[in-house]
Amino acid sequence: MVINADSAQVYADLAVLSARPSEEEMQGVDHRLFGTWDGASACSAADWAEQARTVITDVHKRGAVPILVGGTGLYLRTLLDGIAPVPPIDPAVRDLVRGMPVSDAYAALLVEDPDRAAALSPTDRTRVARALEVVRSTGQSLGHWQGQLTGGIGNLVQLHTAVLLPPRDWLYERCDRRFGQMLERGAVDEVRRLLARGLDPDMPVMRAIGVPELAALQAGTVSQSEALASSAQATRNYAKRQFTWFRNQSPPDWRRIEAKDYDIERLFASLLRH
């Protein structure tokens, strides 16, 4: 069974823009957690990990092998290492913090949790707000809670890992071609349907790569060529971050494959023989 570990492919609204596998591409193999969440509901790393644990347990009970695929490192790290047991955030605190300009929130975080502030970009609205609301609501820093991870399954399962790190010039060229193909396959209509739902623009599904760019195209503020260029650039930037994260943050014993050409069947056979 194949289990999705990509934070965009979890959303039902993003079949095209997330390059979710089609029925034909699945070739009759059971795929789980693809298109499982409605875009109106944010899927956090904790939400995904909870569902992934359930699916993995079910697969193991049937004597089968779960195969996790996808490049969202936070999802995988949460599943394997566990999650910080942060208490529920006071709604009043959350509303106040989320309503602050990011510059003000970051300035407050420098005072209230300087260690976390030092680790974040001053313009990272989501992470800055999260760190500030945690320290204000719980009286403890996010780092404090992250030191008490619970629920990880990394020590309960046997892992056979492969991190694909192809040449970057080849990877970036594929990123450019991929977005052009998405336009041909209906990405504009997909975003039009998503916009018609009137969702909060801060929802993850609304911030997925390609959505803001194609929304601007439909609003008439950019041309199609400009939307294509900005979307392709955003894809390359994300691929670069993923590449760097998996090269430097994944455990050193995870097998790394730094080639664009490899025999996928032989690769899986070698992983499962370990």
The domains of the chain, with CATH numbers, are 2-83+152-273 (3.40.50.300), 91-148 (1.10.20.140)
What amino acid occupies position 188? V
Q: Render pLDDT for 24-68 as a digit per residue (tens, 0 to 9).
A: 999 999 999 999 999 999 999 999 999 999 999 999 999 999 999
The whole model's pTM is what? 0.81
In this predicted structure, what is the pLDDT of residue 273? 62
SS3 245: helix
Rounded CA separation 205/209 (Å): 9
Q: Is 114 exposed, middle or buried (0-12, 13-18, 19+ CB in 10 A)?
A: exposed
Token code pair at residue 114: 């300087």
Rounded CA separation 49/76 (Å): 8
**126 neighbors 201 (Cβ within 8 angstroms):** no
What amino acid occupies position 119? A
**Region 134-155: what's the mean pLDDT?**
93
SS3 185: coil
The residue to which tokens 């009043």 are assigned: 92
Q: Render pLDDT for 113-130 as a digit per residue (tens, 0 to 9).
A: 999 999 999 998 888 999
Token code pair at residue 192: 């039009």
**93 neighbors 99 (Cβ within 8 angstroms):** no
